[in-house]
Structure 1
Amino acid sequence: MIDFYKNLMAFMKIGNIHTDNNVFKLHYKVTVILIATFSVLLTSKQYFGEPIDCDVQQRKEIIDTYCWINGTFIFEDNILDYRAPGLTTRNDKSGSAHFQNYYQWVCIVFALQAICFYIPRYIWKACEGGRLKQLVGEFGGPITSEKWNNTSKEKLVRNILYDSYAHNVYTFRYCFCEFLNLVNVIINILFMDWFLDGEFSTYGLIDGSRSITKRMNRVFPKLAKCHYYKFGPSGDMQLLDALCILSLNVLNQKVFLLLWYWLLVLLIVSFLSVLYRALFLFVPVFRTYLLRAQARRLENKKAKYIVRKLSYGDFFILYRLGKNVNQNTYRDVVSCIYDHLSNWKGYKIFQEI
């Protein structure tokens, strides 16, 4: 367990070069670690503890295993209500029994979810290919490098202005991965709703008719019934009616409640992130505001001119550069870009270098 958390802490370490934003990190760092932790906790409890304990006199170990594998059920009104004897199948006409047989799959589902939340990061990392790290070079960090001079500044500006097409493709891939994060959250919520028989979508809602506690006890009951059949001495079928304690569901109730609220928050911030990216791409005034906020004390007319001349891909590279270098270095780069753009003839010659 200690080694597991050491690996998690290493995974949480933030790199020197930031190729994505904080919302992106919520997906592939915080969410992956949260779900992986849930999976480890439930796995240790499920396979190294006693997740179920049935109150029977005969064949206790066999019945415990049987009820865990095949699932248990509860009654709608009261799990101790024995007024519906013989209720053993999903096709029961009374329709008052609810079966649960997904407990043993929870830890595996969490592991698959952790992988799903890392996939957009994996795709973006493969597409990014270390381009921003090569662009920033040794000039990243909060302190201006001793090697920062006019020659290095000209080289950096040339790399920003040189290939608009490649920068546009770079930006499109990043936007696709951001949108994939939002789609991934929606798919995971729908999948968990299907996995819990339609109960996950409303699991954490507070309403007057049905409290959260009642809903948790319905989805993850701590007491449930199980029917076990065996052949008696005379060859006839005998029914053993067992009342089982599901201690693992005490943990499942809290884990899924926390997961429900976290996915809700993640869905909201992911939607806002996609909306922000749409404004970034299609509203030049918004890019002007971002540039002035990032390059402090930049004149409004200069910011408008730079935004008007640069493609959305070039501006995205410039904006990501501002997240990885200090303010003095970034202001020098922005000023140099303005000087080149304002001299159109010089800029054309500059592109051909």
Structure 2
Amino acid sequence: MSAHIGAVSSVNALIGKVFTQPKGDLAGRLNSRFTVAILAVSAGLLLSTHFWGDPITCWTPAEFPRIWSDFVNQFCYVEGTYFANLDEQLEFNDDHRKRNFISYYQWIPYFLALQAFAFYMPRFVWNVLASFSGFDLGGCIKYVDSVWHKIRGGNFHGRMDLLEKQVGTYVWDAIRLARRHKRGRMVFYYIIYGVIQAANAWLMFYWLNDLIDSPLYSFHGPSVIADLLSGKNWQETGHFPRITHCDVPRRMLANSPKQTVNCVLTLNIYYEKLLLFLWFWMLFVCCVSSANCMSWVLTMCTPARSQERIRAYLACHAGSVYLDKFFRALGHDGVFVLHQIALNMGDLPASYVAMALYNVVIEFDHETTALLEKSGAKAV
């Protein structure tokens, strides 16, 4: 019994770690949270209908007993069906008859589950890469958030005093420690994560388009929209057909004739709406991920752009001779940490943290300079 309780506790702890990670930027939330949730829920619901519902129902001849009808349903579900217009005569040639073969029907739930896993993988890669930087970004943001919730009801001077003593010192020590062990490069790792995330989103979009492609369409989403707006339905276009055909072989002594039956694919009613929504959703996610990746590259590779937001937080020190020294001391990783605090907590807490960190860094610089002068050493 205790072993089962321990296993459940371990699973709950793992789930807690996953869902208490920092929110990240918009692209990260779209990929690793919203898209994963949409795909996972859709996969679970559809898979349950495949196992405990009737995903396919075929119309068998009257002379077929029930067990034969059940066999036909299972056979057509496993082997697949093909679309042919009910108003047209079936082709005698098997290749011509099955040119509109429905290959996706039974695989959609598994496909969505794999995509949910794939959309979370970039986030997992980022967590692994971040561990190599020597800076616990997730822990830092959680700590800053916990301190902010305790002091946000106080006055300005009280907030600044506590932030300098706790948050400012903590963040500055963590940055220096990571730099001392030459394990920085958080910005470089985050850009790699952004590239992987954008590439993965486009790959999943292409995979979705390829899965539901048909000889009638080369670009699924706009084509279906055009068909719906023009009043065309599945009987004419053959896309997500509700009624299909299936050839069931019957072994006899002399030969093995095929019995052609009509089958109802009930889930295609939902597949059409769901996959059409996912097509446009993934296209949106792809565009946001690509734009986000380019934005981070431009921001972090251009010092003026990366410092612009932080300088706005430190407007009260705009004329200070120490401002440039502060940014040099922070480096790319320090500026990146402040950007991440702003993304996860908002501009107000980030501005307080920036001011507290500024005071801590300048005080540290003064103390270091005084010690070097006192010892007669030359500052580098």
Q: 2:145 aligns with which of 134, 140, 143?
A: 140
Q: 1:337 aligns with which of 337, 361, 367?
A: 361
Q: What's the secondary structure of 1:333's corresponding residue?
A: helix
Report percent identity of matched pairs. Answer: 19
CA distance 1:348–1:40, change in 2 (3 Å): farther
Match of 2:191 in 1: 175
CA–CA distance in structure 1, aligned partners of residues 333 and 115 of structure 2:
32
Aligned residues of 1:189 and 1:263 also touching (Cα < 8 A): yes
Q: 1:157 aligns with which of 164, 172, 175?
A: 172
CA–CA distance in structure 1, aligned partners of residues 139 and 171 of structure 2:
10
CA distance 1:70–1:296, change in 2 (3 Å): farther
Q: Are residues 1:42 and 2:42 paired?
A: no
Structure 1 residue 80 displacement after superposition: 0.8
Structure 1 residue 82 displacement after superposition: 3.8
Aligned residues of 2:55 and 2:265 also touching (Cα < 8 A): yes
Structure 1 residue 267 displacement after superposition: 0.3
Q: What's the secondary structure of 1:148's corresponding residue?
A: helix
Aligned residues of 1:168 and 1:312 also touching (Cα < 8 A): no
Which is worse superposed, 293-302 or 254-263?
Answer: 293-302
Match of 1:85 in 2: 91
Q: Where do residues 206-217 of structure 1 align in structure 2 (5 Å cutoff)?
A: 210-211=227-228
Aligned residues of 1:225 and 1:241 also touching (Cα < 8 A): yes
CA–CA distance in structure 2, aligned partners of residues 219 and 346 of structure 1:
77
Q: Deviations over 1:143-182 (max 9, x none)?
A: 4648826554445434334544746422222221222111
Structure 1 residue 39 displacement after superposition: 0.4
Structure 1 residue 115 displacement after superposition: 1.0
For structure 2, list consecutive stretches of 5 or more residues without a partner in the other structure: 1-11, 152-157, 374-378
CA distance 1:135–1:231, change in 2 (3 Å): closer
CA–CA distance in structure 2, aligned partners of residues 154 and 133 of structure 1:
17
Match of 1:117 in 2: 119
Match of 2:130 in 1: 128
Which is worse superposed, 331-340 or 300-309?
Answer: 300-309
CA–CA distance in structure 2, aligned partners of residues 270 and 155 of structure 1:
32
Which is worse superposed, 114-123 or 160-169?
Answer: 160-169
Match of 2:289 in 1: 270
CA–CA distance in structure 2, aligned partners of residues 168 and 255 of structure 1:
43
CA–CA distance in structure 1, aligned partners of residues 183 and 25 of structure 2:
18
Match of 2:31 in 1: 27
Structure 1 residue 278 displacement after superposition: 0.7
Which is worse superposed, 152-161 or 285-294?
Answer: 152-161
Give the AA of the match of 2:360: C
CA–CA distance in structure 2, aligned partners of residues 245 and 239 of structure 1:
19
Give the AA of the match of 1:131: D
CA–CA distance in structure 2, aligned partners of residues 261 and 111 of structure 1:
18
Q: 2:339 aligns with which of 289, 313, 319?
A: 319
Q: 2:208 aligns with which of 192, 208, 230?
A: 192
For structure 1, list consecutive stretches of 5 or more residues without a partner in the other structure: 1-6
Aligned residues of 2:83 and 2:100 also touching (Cα < 8 A): yes
Q: What's the secondary structure of 1:240's corresponding residue?
A: strand
Q: Deviations over 1:47-66 (max 9, x none)?
A: 11111111221232221111
Structure 1 residue 37 displacement after superposition: 0.9
CA–CA distance in structure 2, aligned partners of residues 136 and 28 of structure 1:
18
Match of 2:108 in 1: 106
CA distance 1:133–1:12, change in 2 (3 Å): closer
Structure 1 residue 337 displacement after superposition: 3.0
Structure 1 residue 96 displacement after superposition: 8.0
Q: Are residues 1:56 and 2:80 paired?
A: no
Structure 1 residue 306 displacement after superposition: 3.9
Which is worse superposed, 59-68 or 255-264?
Answer: 59-68
CA distance 1:108–1:163, change in 2 (3 Å): closer
Structure 1 residue 99 displacement after superposition: 0.3
Length-normalised TM-score, structure 1: 0.79
Match of 2:248 in 1: 228
CA distance 1:151–1:39, change in 2 (3 Å): closer
Report the number of matched residues.
333
Q: Which structure features the higher share of helix residues?
A: 2
CA distance 1:12–1:67, change in 2 (3 Å): farther
Length-normalised TM-score, structure 2: 0.74
Structure 1 residue 237 displacement after superposition: 3.0
Match of 1:69 in 2: 78
Give the AA of the match of 1:170: M
Q: Where do residues 304-315 of structure 1 align in structure 2 (5 Å cutoff)?
A: 306-307=326-327, 310-315=330-335
